[in-house]
Amino acid sequence: MSNGPGDQRLGLALSFRARLTAGLIAGAVVPLAGFGIVLLAAEITRTGGIHSTLGSLIVFSLAAAVIVGVVFAYALASNLMAPLRAIARSVERVSAGDLSTRVEVAGEDELARLVESHNRLAADLQRRNTELGRILVAIGETSPRDGLDRLIAHATSSARSAFSMIDAVIHIGDPDDVKVEEVIPGESRPIRAILALPDERVGVLIGHLPATRSWDSADQDLLELYAGEVAVAIRNAQLFSQVQDQTHRLEALDAAKDDFLRGISHNLQTPLTSIRAYSEQLQEERPDRRLEVITEQSERLSRMVRQLLTVSRLDAGTLKPRIEIVALGPRVRRAWEALGVDDVPFEVTDDAAGWLALADPDQLDQVLWAILDNAVKYGRGAPVRAHVQPDVVARTLRLTIADSGPGVPQDLQGSVFERYARGTSPDHPEGTGIGLYVARELVLAMEGSLDLDASGAGGAAGAAAGAGGAAEAGAGAAFTIALPAEASSANEP
């Protein structure tokens, strides 16, 4: 395996233990072998040859020296390798996440310094993990709802705890306005981190560490990471405060609007009642079409004022229905007659079969007027049909009012019952946009339901056509009211 350009190859391909053992053996055997060679050379010089006994003795001594050297070298290598094995095991535990293991080696040599460096690195890593854990806890405890002052106080307290600082202060504003302190040996160490966002700097975190506390680039990176999170939290708190202020202002405006609607509704009812009464009186004395128009329009305006008043009562929660037994078919006819629309064909198919609705008569009139008026406005003069039929299983009376106009566009069908919802096309008629909203709320208050047939008026109009009317299938809009009902005594099983 080839080494990278930054790698350093130490020694040969043999392991450190093998090289150490070989060195110890060589250190023990080579001197003795050299001594034996010197004796042999001296013997050859003196006698001109080698005595067999002396040669055997020298060979035996060398063999014994090799054996003893190997044994002692292995024992000494094992003893010297023990601290290295301890360091290796400690490194493995540190890699697995156990930072509490420490290695102790006597002496002040290179091996002891290596062990000391390992213990120091493990302690620093454990300290930074502890600091990171405290930072994560501190970040998780903050909330924009706490307010800016409480957030800053919590952030400074968490910084002191996480980084073992003597003091900590957060300044909001331009960091350049806060002077950078110099590091003086022997005194408390100043530290500093900018509260930075991607687009701006919101402040600076400054503090002091004990003089004995180490501080390196990794600690500074961790502090800047914390400062970045504090900056985000501060910005969120500022935005949340702005949203709260805007919400309070909108609530105040909404309350003022409701008060205005209530006041103007009450104030308009009295003159409208007088106008309608006098126009009817004049009409009886001297019939005139203009008086009829005045009466009709004053009645229409009175209903619109009642809608506004109903909206304010719905918002205040003071609108409570007074339930009575009501015949639905005749009520629909009277509501249509009250509209005074003579140029639009209207037909009621009453299949109630003796079933009577349980509803508030006044509120039901508002519902019927809103739906019928909606059918006239958006039906563009097309016939309007109503169909009353009971649901015996659900014990409800269902009223479907359908027109044969263009219908409700697909993208508006989900919002027709929202307050102030109106069509967006230029040819849509003028209106307040609260009629259907008020109608549904009133029906819900009477424990009923009001729904739009998303498929158009085809189903409802088709039912009316089956009873003798003519309808255009698939055209127009159909609204169905379902009210609690009970059968008359004659129809009870």
Kindly report, residue by residue over 365-419, the tens digit of the pLDDT.
888 988 998 888 888 778 899 999 999 999 999 999 998 877 777 767 777 787 7
CA distance 473 to 451: 19
* Pair type for strands 201-209 and 346-350: unpaired
What residues pair up with 172 in beta bridges, in sequence order? 203
Q: What is the pLDDT of residue 463?
A: 37
The whole-model pTM stands at 0.45
Q: What is the pLDDT of residue 329?
A: 92
Question: Cα–Cα–Cα angle for 184, 189, 192, nearest 5°?
Answer: 120
Q: What is the pLDDT of residue 262?
A: 66
Q: Assess contact for 382 and 343: CB atoms under 8 A.
A: no
Q: What is the pLDDT of residue 261?
A: 67
CA distance 312 to 83: 85
Residue of 377, 403, 400, 402 lying closest to 388 (CA atoms): 400
Residue of 487, 450, 446, 443 lying closest to 324 (CA atoms): 446
Residue range 138-164, pLDDT digits in tens: 666 677 777 888 888 888 888 888 788
Q: Assess contact for 323 and 359: CB atoms under 8 A.
A: yes
Q: Which residues of the chain are under the pLDDT cut of 50?
A: 1-2, 6-11, 424-426, 429, 456-474, 490, 493
Residue of 356, 367, 298, 361 lying closest to 328 (CA atoms): 356
Q: What is the pLDDT of residue 313?
A: 67
